[in-house]
Amino acid sequence: MAIKFFGRGGGNSPILEISNLDIYYGKAHAVQGVSLTLQKGVLGVVGKNGMGKTSLCNAITGLVPARGSIKLAGEEILGLPPHAITAKGIGYVPQGRRVWPSLSVDEHLRLAAKSVRSGEWTVERIYQLFPRLGERKSNGGSQLSGGEQQMLAIGRALLFNPRLLVMDEPTEGLAPVIVEHVADTLKTLASEGNISVLLIEQNLGVAVDVADNVAVMMNGRVARTLPARELAADVNLQHQLLGVRQSADDEGGAEALTVPEVDDETPVRVFTVARAEDNGLPRNDATTDASRTVRNFNRWNQGATGATLKDLSLGDRPSEASFEHVSAPIEHKAQVFEFSVAHTANRAAYIAGTFDTKGRELFFLKNCMEKLGLRTVTVDLSTSGKPSPANIHPREIARFHPKGERGVFTDDRGTAVTAMALAFENFIVSRRDLGGMISAGGSGGTALATPAMRRLPVGMPKVMVSTVASGDVKPYVGPSDICMMYSVTDVSGINRISERVLSNAAHALAGMIAYAREESKDSKPAIGLTMFGVTTPCVQATTKLLEEEFDCLVFHATGTGGQSMEKLVDSGLISGVIDVSTTEIADEIGGGILSAGTERMDAIIRSRIPYVGTCGALDMVNFWARDTVPSRLNDRLFYQHNPNVTLMRTTVEENIKIGEFIAGKLNQMEGPVRFVLPMGGVSALDAPGKAFWNPEADNALFQTIEKNFRPGSQRRLIKSPLHLNDPQFAEELAKHFHELNAQSGARRRAL
């Protein structure tokens, strides 16, 4: 049964009547039996990503086939082509703006003004409504900010003089001040009474501020319809229907939300639309009982441009076999890969690269994934200043640089690329809808994209198609799980080879996003342990003592091993560390080949997870075969571990520096810490009668750590008389870790 909404305009003839609407993508039933009636005024449709809102818009405007009925002022329009529906009186403001990058503002508007429907909306009136567009009338679409593009998209739709304006996420990605301007514009249009509005919004504050009534969509159905004021005033109802909450600390709620920085505003923390005094929140000075402000709005995803489900153009519809009886005509066929909508709807595939030089190849990747039903977001990393066809303009990325756009767009290509890479790192970690990332390019494009990929958590899908993927990829991949695919031919045009390689890469990313493994709720917490050949007995014994309670991940302390462990710590995939083999620090100090860098132990500092550490294999510096050791070290003590690995004993002076390094890191740790000194020796070679036994060097290490270490309420230094590989020493490490883990759990429960 359809539900009628009587808005500001009154009247008895419904402007829009939807009955029993069903939309399918392959076998995925995206919209299920939806019935809505808009009499006049504004009807808001809200819901999380992937609930079918964009599909509803596309069916109304004729962009996807559907079953059921859609009537405009009593006339059936379902089945008509999009241009005929527009001529009947429906204007569409699509998600993502979709302005032409090569047309100026004025050309956009003049083109739309030639529509078949004449009326009161003219180009001059659009400039009066949006003065900023008048100032930018000669600028191309790609030269506009996100807010300016949205003004242009609204103005373009109004020039068709519609009776019904369908708006899909008009405030998505905009700064708060622009959001308010758009909301005011919608209220002005609705108050004049000549245009009704179907408003699809994830910004709940805007929806309840503008609309008379709100329909909530969940899993392709209309779950609830109610007056906007009722939803605005009831926080519990917001939480029940939408998962909305005030902060990250609310128990059992949805994810905490922030607004993406895409215009010239500082990101702000946002709250629900209910009045501040009803929530115990600080009152906004602009908030009154009579006016629901959009400053304190809530968005439950950080929306990027692009459609929520599969945004189909006329040339990319589901195959005819997917529909037995469809009201809309189907003119073209396309392959439909049956991904689960529930798995992919909230996550987008980000396609990043230099669209000024690699646009054709990057759009090929985009088309491959959209044919599989994935939502995509194109991100332009060009520094040339040329017009951009991507969803996200290079200027928007550049604003994430510490110095803003000026720090990126310099006259020097080398510094510009480096700066853009840094800006992209900061940008990508701010996204909330990121399901995975793919890029393609040469050495420059690879250097632009991979730093951002390395910033992403381990497990987040990332694919890099590159001309440099067949050589030494360590500078690009580092400790991350980037999948690098050699392009074979240069990334320059689409040919029989590049088409196959790029297609494989796109399908690989799509598969990783669609079939991401969900961690079992019953899985044991993971802890990291570092091991070297000469500390193996200690690590194996410690693991045996802990493996029933913990998923013990052992990392080979070869530089990349330590980096990988700390990458997992930063990714939140490791809940504690037993750092048996800190030998990578010896290589950093002594000039060896297995250094993990000066950042070793920094992830522990950042994460504050339980940490038990010791001095495993700090008696040695690593080199390759003996003839690769620098000649200046010929008078040092060496041990031939195997034909390819040579070990050099650390000196008193080096151990003092190592001790200072370790103590400095430990003193910065604010989480629970125990560092244990094995006074009986630090490796299998550091024992009486063994090659590296040197009590003087060991004592220099221990005394330096003890001298510089600053104990705290959670930070303790422990001296053990045992050798590191003694079974009892492993028992000590396990006992300390159990204590720290218990304390950490108690603190979490107390908070």
Q: Is residue 331 part of a domain?
A: no
pLDDT at 517 over 80: no
pLDDT at 230 exceeding the cut of 90: no
Whether 296 is in a domain gets the answer no
Is residue 337 pLDDT above 70, yes or no?
A: no
pLDDT in tens, 280-327: 333 333 333 333 333 333 333 333 333 333 332 333 333 333 333 333
Question: Could you tell me if 350 and 415 lie in one domain?
Answer: yes
Q: Is residue 218 part of a domain?
A: yes
Residue 470 lies inside a defined structural domain of this protein: yes
- The amino acid present at 529, given as its one-letter code, is L
Q: What six digits make up the tokens of 14?
A: 């419904």
Domain termination residue (choose one: 514, 540, 560): 514
pLDDT over 70 at 87, yes or no: yes
Instruction: Report DSSP letters for 584-649, one per residue.
Output: HHHHHHHT-S----TTTTHHHHHH---EEE--TTTTEEEESSGGGS-GGGTTS-EEEEETTEEEEE
For residues 129 and 453, which has the higher predicted lDDT (pLDDT)?
453
Q: Are residues 102 and 153 in the same domain?
A: yes
Is 571 in the same domain as 478? no
Q: What pLDDT score was predicted for residue 749?
A: 56
Residues 488 and 534 in one domain: no
Per-residue pLDDT band for 518 (boundaries 50, 70, 90) equals: low
Q: Which of 483, 514, 545 is the last residue of a domain?
A: 514
- The answer on 392 and 535 residing in a single domain is no
| pLDDT tens string 553-596 | 999 999 999 999 999 998 888 999 999 999 999 999 999 999 99
Of 467, 488, 514, the one marking the end of a domain is 514
pLDDT given at position 750: 57
Q: How much is the pLDDT for 346?
A: 58
User: CB–CB of 19/35 below 8 Å?
Assistant: yes
Taking 60 as the threshold, does the pLDDT of residue 345 lie above it? no
594: containing domain: 526-750
pLDDT band at 638 (very low <50, low <70, confident <90, very high): very high
Residue 711 has pLDDT above 70, yes or no: yes
Give yes or no: residues 618 and 693 share one domain: yes
What pLDDT score was predicted for residue 284? 35
d(CA 284, CA 275): 9
Of the pLDDT bands very low, low, confident and very high (cuts 50, 70, 90), residue 498 is: very high
Instruction: Choose the most confident range, by mean pLDDT, from 15-24, 171-180, 561-570, 725-734.
Output: 725-734
Q: 62 falls in which pLDDT band (50, 70, 90)?
A: very high
Q: Is the four-CA dihedral 99, 105, 109, 111 of positive or negative sign? A: negative
Q: Are 608 and 729 found together in one domain?
A: yes
Of the pLDDT bands very low, low, confident and very high (cuts 50, 70, 90), residue 683 is very high
What are the structure tokens assigned to 366, written together?
Answer: 């985009």
Q: Please indicate, yes or no, whether residues 678 and 540 belong to a single structural domain of this protein.
A: yes
Counted domains in the chain = 3
**Quick one: 106 and 227 in the same domain?**
yes
Torsion of CA 290, 296, 346, 499, to 10 degrees: 110
pTM of this structure: 0.55
Per the domain annotation, does 285 fall within a domain? no
Residue 328 covered by a domain: no
pLDDT, tens digit (0-9, with 9 covering 90-100), for 362-402: 999 999 998 888 889 999 999 998 888 898 999 999 999 99
* pLDDT-derived band at 693, boundaries 50, 70, 90: very high
Report the pLDDT value the prediction gives residue 180, as an integer from 0 to 100: 81
pLDDT tier at 177, thresholds 50, 70, 90: confident
User: What mean pLDDT, rounded, does the chain reach?
Assistant: 82
CATH number at residue 159: 3.40.50.300
> Which pLDDT does position 334 carry in this prediction?
38
For residues 26 and 344, what is the distance between their CA atoms, to the nearest angstrom?
Answer: 14
Question: In terms of domains, do 550 and 655 share one?
Answer: yes
pLDDT at 519: 61
pLDDT band at 263; cut points 50, 70, 90: very low
Does residue 302 sit within a domain? no
262 and 406 inside one domain: no
Q: How far apart are CA 615 and CA 535, in angstroms?
A: 10
**Residue 679 belongs to a domain with what CATH number?**
3.40.50.12030
pLDDT at 600 over 90: yes
- Which residues of 444-539 form beta strands (DSSP E)? 462-466, 483-486, 526-531
Which pLDDT belongs to residue 327?
35
Let me know whether 509 and 533 are in one domain: no
Is it the case that residue 420 has pLDDT exceeding 90?
A: yes
Task: Give the type of residue at 392.
Answer: I
Res 91 pLDDT > 80: yes
Q: Is residue 725 part of a domain?
A: yes
- 411: CATH: 3.40.50.12020
